[in-house]
């Protein structure tokens, strides 16, 4: 499982084994061998090497160890977590089932919009077409989401200042 995930993400990122190995600090003559050993699960990266590997693949190290979501049981647990923690709900429209958030928070919809854009970009990747799977760079997703939250915060501050200005003007008239 661990090795398959490294291989899958490496290919999606467009790295050859030697490229990833060099980026992780291995010498060019052994870089591909080391990555191959991790992918074949003959060795497991530890400490600094694991950090370099996950940094270069732009993933959290726990994501390399987590169970795949391929089974219905695992998928059901993930969906139940989303129901509990993020107000995800299934809805039926014209006999079709969809998932949506029960919250009217624009943050959820912004997050989904950004996620969809990134998914669509990764789905153009040739590897996606072959494997029918995709990987989203968490850094891209959360950077865009953080910028959105900052923008919302600035808009709220602007509205508060405008309210104060309006009340001052009304008080002076």
pTM: 0.46
Asked if 78 and 61 sit in the same domain, the reply is no
Asked if 108 and 170 sit in the same domain, the reply is yes
Asked if 57 and 87 sit in the same domain, the reply is no
* Most confidently predicted of 52-66, 123-137, 141-155: 52-66
Mean pLDDT across the stretch 68-72?
A: 66
Q: Which residue has the higher pLDDT, 144 or 27?
A: 27
10 contacts 3 by C-beta, under 8 angstroms:
no
Out of 57, 83, 102, a domain closes at: 102
For residue 143, what pLDDT is reported? 67
For residue 98, what pLDDT is reported? 85
For residue 68, what pLDDT is reported? 62
Asked if 61 and 124 sit in the same domain, the reply is no
Asked if 58 and 77 sit in the same domain, the reply is no
Residue 23 has pLDDT above 70, yes or no: yes
Residue 134 has pLDDT above 50, yes or no: no
Mean pLDDT across the stretch 56-81?
A: 74
Residue 99 has pLDDT above 50, yes or no: yes
- The residue among 142, 137, 146, 4 whose CA lies nearest residue 59 is 137
Out of 78, 102, 126, a domain closes at: 102
Asked if 108 and 173 sit in the same domain, the reply is yes
Asked if 97 and 129 sit in the same domain, the reply is no
Q: Which residue has the higher pLDDT, 63 or 168?
A: 168
The number of domains in the chain is 3
Asked if 110 and 171 sit in the same domain, the reply is yes
Mean pLDDT across the stretch 77-96?
A: 83
For residue 28, what pLDDT is reported? 92
Residue 20 has pLDDT above 90, yes or no: yes
- Contacts by residues 110-119 (CB-CB < 8 Å, ≥ 24 positions apart): 110/145, 110/148, 111/145, 114/141, 114/144, 114/145, 114/148, 115/141, 118/144
Residues of the domain holding 143: 104-173
Asked if 95 and 108 sit in the same domain, the reply is no
Q: What's the CATH number where 56 sits?
A: 1.10.260.40
Asked if 108 and 98 sit in the same domain, the reply is no
């Amino acid at each position: 499982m661990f090795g398959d995930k490294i291989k899958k993400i490496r290919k999606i990122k467009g790295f050859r084994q030697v490229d990833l190995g060099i980026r992780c600090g291995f010498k060019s003559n052994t870089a591909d061998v080391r990555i191959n050993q991790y992918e074949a699960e003959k060795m497991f990266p530890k400490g600094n090497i694991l950090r370099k590997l996950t940094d270069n693949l732009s993933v959290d190290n726990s994501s390399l160890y987590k169970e795949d979501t391929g089974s219905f049981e695992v998928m059901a647990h993930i969906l139940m977590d989303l129901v509990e923690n993020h107000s995800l709900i299934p809805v039926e429209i014209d006999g079709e089932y969809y998932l949506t958030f029960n919250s009217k928070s624009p943050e959820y919809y912004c997050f989904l919009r950004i996620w969809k854009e990134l998914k669509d970009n990764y789905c153009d990747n040739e590897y996606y077409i072959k494997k029918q799977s995709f990987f989203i760079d968490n850094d891209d997703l959360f950077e865009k989401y953080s910028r959105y939250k900052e923008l919302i915060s600035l808009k709220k501050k602007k509205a508060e200042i405008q309210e104060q200005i309006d009340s001052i003007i009304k008080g002076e008239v």
